Amino acid sequence: MRISELARRGDVTTATVKYYLREGLLPPGALTSPTQAQYDESHVARLRLIRALLGPGSLTIAQAKGVIAVIDDPGDDMFEALGSAQQATVDEPDPVDTTAAERLVARAGWRVDPRSPELGQLARSLAAIDDAGFEIRDETWDAYLRSTRDIADAEIAGIPEDPSDALRYAVLGTILVEPVLLALRRLAHQHASGERYGT
């Protein structure tokens, strides 16, 4: 298909497609003449991925490029590749004391890289909770650790075998599902609060 058809299928303008091509987010089409290129279904799929990363995922162009580079060349260590793809979506936080965050992860018995930026994010959130004078019961912490593990286990078990599919799945899943989980938690609050306070 031509660039105009690709743009239509991806629900973006031709100018946007050209921009993604220039930025290297979209691979070039097959040249059929010095001024004309042909695109195929793989370009449509890639365009949808880019839109998800830049739109609901709110990644920067640089972050999206990092994710796509790993998807295009996953190497043969899937654990390593998944880690690199995830890290590409995270802002590196300023250095922060991660002792409390590491303690929490140790309590759950999880093996994680102590240099993970997610530990910094967790540490920052724990500090904000502390700072607000907000206390969380042990039973509630246990529910957080148990539930996020339950979610992650189901998600990792669902990752497809093919390495590039697997990375696309993992990155999109991480990003697109976050707002779903937050909305579900708030809706579950409503239900549980109805049960406790009786309506």
Which positions from 128 through 187 interact with its own copies, judged by CB under 8 A? Answer: 128-129, 131-134, 136-137, 139-140, 142-159, 169-170, 172-174, 176-187
Would you say 76 and 42 are in contact if contact means Cβ atoms under 8 Å apart? no
The interface with its own copies within residues 9-38 (CB under 8 A) comprises none
Looking at 58, 122, 162, 167, which residue binds its own copies (CB under 8 A)?
122
- In terms of Cβ atoms closer than 10 Å to its own Cβ (0-12, 13-18, 19+), residue 139 is exposed
Cβ proximity to its own copies, 28 vs 56, nearer residue: 56
Looking at 79, 94, 95, 161, which residue binds its own copies (CB under 8 A)?
79
Tell the smallest beta-carbon distance from residue 68 to its own copies (Å). Answer: 14
- In terms of Cβ atoms closer than 10 Å to its own Cβ (0-12, 13-18, 19+), residue 171 is buried
Cβ proximity to its own copies, 18 vs 189, nearer residue: 189
Tell the smallest beta-carbon distance from residue 103 to its own copies (Å). Answer: 13
- Residue 106 binds to its own copies (criterion: CB under 8 A): no
The interface with its own copies within residues 52-71 (CB under 8 A) comprises 52, 55-56
Tell the smallest beta-carbon distance from residue 66 to its own copies (Å). Answer: 16
**What single-letter amino acid sits at 178?**
E
| CA contacts within 13 A on the Cβ side of 163 | 15
Contacts of 54-59 with CB under 8 Å at 24 or more apart are 56/175, 56/176, 56/179, 57/89, 57/172, 57/175, 57/176, 59/89, 59/175
CA 84/CA 82 separation, integer angstroms: 6
Of the candidates 178, 182, 172, 163, the one whose C-alpha atom is nearest the C-alpha of residue 64 is: 172
Cβ proximity to its own copies, 14 vs 174, nearer residue: 174
Cβ proximity to its own copies, 31 vs 151, nearer residue: 151
Cβ proximity to its own copies, 31 vs 106, nearer residue: 106
Size of the site for its own copies (CB under 8 A): 87
CA 49/CA 68 separation, integer angstroms: 9
3-class DSSP state for residue 28?
A: coil
Tell the smallest beta-carbon distance from residue 28 to its own copies (Å). Answer: 22
